[in-house]
Chains A and B, each alone.
Chain A
Amino acid sequence: MSQTTGHASDNYFSLDDILTTQEKLPCKVEMPIYRLGYLDQSSDDSTLQPGTKLEMPFWLARSLCSRRRHIVSVEMPRAYRESYRQIFKADPNVVDLHKLGPYFYGFGSYLLNFQHSEAADIGNSLVKTFQGRFRKIMDSSQNALNQDTSKLTEKLDESEKKIFVAGQLGLHDFQRWETRQTEKLMTSAMVQKHRKRKRAVLEETS
Chain B
Amino acid sequence: MDPSEVEFLAEKESISIVPNFTLDQIYLISGDLGPFSPGLPTTVPLWMACSLKQRQKCRIVPPDWMDVEKLSEKKQEELESKFFTQMPSNHYLEVSQLLLQCATDDIPKADEVKTLIKDIWDLRMAKLRSSVEVFVKSDATHAKLNHLTLMEINTVRPFLTAALDHMHALRSNLTSGSRLSQD
A16 to B180, CA, bound (A): 25
* A176, CB-defined interface residue at 8 Å: yes
Interface residues in A149-201 by Cβ distance below 8 A to B read 159-160, 162-163, 166-167, 169-171, 173-174, 176-178, 180, 182-183
Interface residues in A97-117 by Cβ distance below 8 A to B read 105, 109, 112-113, 115
Q: Are A182 and B4 within 8 A (Cβ)?
A: yes
Q: Are A180 and B101 within 8 A (Cβ)?
A: yes
Q: Are B170 and A182 within 8 A (Cβ)?
A: no
Q: Which of B158, B171, B178 makes the CB contact (< 8 A) with A127?
A: B171
* B67, CB-defined interface residue at 8 Å: no
Q: Are B159 and A138 within 8 A (Cβ)?
A: yes
* A135, CB-defined interface residue at 8 Å: yes
* A8, CB-defined interface residue at 8 Å: no
Q: Provided the pairs A134-B133, A134-B163 are in contact, do residues A127 and B155 lie with their beta carbons within 8 angstroms?
A: no
Interface residues in B121-171 by Cβ distance below 8 A to A read 129, 132-133, 136-137, 151, 154-159, 161-163, 166-167, 169-171
Q: Are B7 and A177 within 8 A (Cβ)?
A: yes
Q: Are A174 and B155 within 8 A (Cβ)?
A: yes
15 contacts between A and B (CB under 8 A): A1-B180, A109-B170, A112-B177, A120-B177, A123-B173, A124-B174, A137-B163, A138-B133, A139-B129, A141-B159, A142-B156, A162-B162, A166-B163, A177-B7, A182-B4
Closest to B167 in A: A130
Across chains A and B, which 3 residue pairs bring their CB atoms closest together, nearest first? Answer: A177-B3, A167-B159, A166-B162
Cβ-Cβ contact count across A and B, 8 Å cutoff:
100
* B97, CB-defined interface residue at 8 Å: yes
Nearest chain B CB to A122 CB, angstrom units: 9
A180 to B100, CA, bound (A): 12
Q: Are B97 and A134 within 8 A (Cβ)?
A: no
A109 to B173, CA, bound (A): 6
A19 to B94, CA, bound (A): 44
Q: Provided the pairs A3-B176, A126-B170, A173-B2 are in contact, do residues A166 and B159 lie with their beta carbons within 8 angstroms?
A: yes
The interface size of chain A toward B, counting residues with CB under 8 Å, comes to 40
Q: Are A170 and B155 within 8 A (Cβ)?
A: yes
Task: Give A contacts to B, CB under 8 Å.
Answer: 1, 3-4, 105, 109, 112-113, 115, 119-120, 123-124, 126-127, 130-131, 134-135, 137-139, 141-142, 159-160, 162-163, 166-167, 169-171, 173-174, 176-178, 180, 182-183
Nearest chain B CB to A50 CB, angstrom units: 27
Apart from A123-B173, A163-B163, A173-B2, what 16 extra A-B contacts exist at CB < 8 Å? A3-B176, A119-B181, A120-B174, A126-B170, A127-B170, A138-B129, A138-B163, A142-B156, A162-B162, A163-B159, A166-B158, A177-B2, A177-B4, A177-B7, A178-B3, A178-B97
Q: Which of A1, A126, A170, A176 makes the CB contact (< 8 A) with B156?
A: A170
A120 to B175, CA, bound (A): 9
Q: Which of B3, B129, B136, B170 makes the CB contact (< 8 A) with A173?
A: B3
Q: Which residues of B contact A142 (CB under 8 A)?
A: 129, 156, 159
Nearest chain A CB to B7 CB, angstrom units: 7
Interface residues in B93-127 by Cβ distance below 8 A to A read 97, 101
Nearest chain A CB to B130 CB, angstrom units: 9
A137 to B2, CA, bound (A): 22
